[in-house]
């Protein structure tokens, strides 16, 4: 879900415009390379240039040597001969994708810079074709950059704005702007990580053991903030008291046969509604992903099941 790992099987689908923030269980790994920066300097570094540098360093964003080689393959591209007016095919290699795009039905056309050709000979290529050519990670990185730039128009990345943002998360400006991260306490470092994750104004916030290092007062404030947050929140926690705020719980347990199963639970009112809920499954032959690519789907038609049965 966070992009830290690539799935060994299956696919994780995420709408291109969705912003997902992640606070790891060992939250300090976010900042361990920046202990000589102040929290203010760290957030400004991380989002400088209109993109989240940490997001671009994730496995799901970094190109492997095989993927890089695929991007440099020769493409056959149709062009019109200026002298004869006839269409002919040229061998070209893509140098890079610019961050310029224009809408095309349910997808986009992206501007492409060709190797050895001037910018006035750039071409627009539809996204499904670029995905077919192996540019999935490049497109994902460009989308992150575009979304971050759009957020910059709402709140400039200035020292005063970052200082105010850190104070909103509970880190006084004395520690946020004038102290190095390495000199902060464990609880203060967690606040820095949470503040950095929230700067991007995410739609979904993922916490892995958020109660680590936080005192009782900070936990109460975090609990209240999560309850009032208008986006989605996913939490991994062993703290039963802290988990009480979640109306829905996914518990992965190993059965007697040694096979792991997902047990779906919730509060009494939620369970009552969930067990009544029924969805009729129908066979899908194709679906369209967030980038507008048509994907063939194989599956058998199933009878009605409750939501709890579907999650098991």
Residue-range domain boundaries for the chain: 20-62+152-246, 74-132, 251-311
Asked if pLDDT for residue 91 goes beyond 90, the answer is: yes
The reported pLDDT for the residue numbered 83 is 83
Give start and end residues of each alpha helix (H) in 103-185: 127-132, 136-152, 159-168, 173-178
- Longest Cα–Cα distance of the chain, Å, equals 78
**Tell me, which fold does domain 74-132 have in CATH?**
OB fold (Dihydrolipoamide Acetyltransferase, E2P) (2.40.50)
Kindly state the average pLDDT of the residues 16-21.
77
The reported pLDDT for the residue numbered 170 is 92
CATH topology of 20-62+152-246 equal to that of 74-132?
no
The reported pLDDT for the residue numbered 116 is 93
Select 20-62+152-246's CATH number: 3.40.50.1980, 3.40.640.10, 3.40.50.300, 3.40.47.10.
Answer: 3.40.50.300
Residue 234 bridge partners (DSSP): 206
Q: What does DSSP assign to residue 181?
A: G
Read off the pLDDT band of 256 (50, 70, 90).
confident
Comparing 2-11, 161-170, 200-209, which segment has the lowest mean pLDDT?
2-11
Asked if pLDDT for residue 214 goes beyond 60, the answer is: yes
Read off the pLDDT band of 281 (50, 70, 90).
very low
* Total-model pTM: 0.66
SS3 308: helix
What's the pLDDT tens digit per position in 138-184?
887 788 777 766 655 567 889 999 999 999 999 999 999 999 999 99
Give CA–CA dist 20/58, Å, rounded.
13
Q: Are strands 204-208 and 232-236 parallel, antiparallel or unpaired?
A: parallel
Q: How far apart are the first and last CA of the chain?
A: 19
Give CA–CA dist 304/277, Å, rounded.
10
């Amino acid at each position: 879900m966070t992009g830290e790992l690539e799935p060994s099987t299956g696919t994780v689908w995420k709408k291109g415009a969705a912003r997902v923030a992640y606070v790891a269980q060992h939250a300090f790994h976010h900042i361990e390379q920046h202990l000589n920066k102040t929290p203010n300097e760290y957030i400004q570094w991380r989002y400088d240039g209109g993109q989240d540098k940490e997001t671009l360093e994730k496995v799901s964003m970094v190109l492997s040597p095989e993927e890089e080689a695929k991007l440099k393959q020769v493409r056959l591209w149709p062009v019109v001969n200026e002298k004869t007016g006839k269409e002919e095919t040229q061998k070209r290699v893509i140098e890079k994708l610019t961050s310029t795009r224009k809408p095309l039905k349910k997808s986009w056309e992206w501007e492409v810079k060709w190797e050895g050709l001037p910018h006035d000979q750039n071409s627009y290529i539809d996204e499904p074709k670029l995905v077919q050519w192996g540019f999935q990670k490049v497109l994902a990185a460009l989308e992150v950059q575009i979304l971050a730039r759009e957020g910059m128009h709402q709140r400039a990345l200035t020292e005063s704005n970052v200082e105010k943002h850190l104070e909103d998360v509970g880190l006084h400006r004395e520690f946020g702007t004038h102290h190095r991260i390495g000199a902060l306490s464990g609880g203060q470092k967690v606040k820095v990580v949470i503040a950095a994750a929230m700067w991007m104004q995410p739609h979904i916030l993922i916490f892995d053991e958020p109660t680590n290092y936080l005192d009782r007062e900070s936990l109460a404030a975090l609990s209240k903030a999560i309850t009032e947050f208008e986006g989605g929140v996913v939490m991994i926690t062993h703290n039963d008291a802290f988990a009480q705020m979640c109306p829905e719980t996914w518990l992965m347990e190993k059965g007697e046969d040694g096979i792991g199963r997902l047990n779906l639970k919730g509060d009494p009112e939620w369970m009552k509604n969930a067990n009544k809920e029924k969805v009729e499954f129908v066979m899908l032959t194709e679906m369209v992903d967030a980038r507008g690519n048509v994907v063939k789907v194989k599956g058998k038609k199933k009878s009605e099941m409750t939501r709890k049965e579907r999650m098991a």
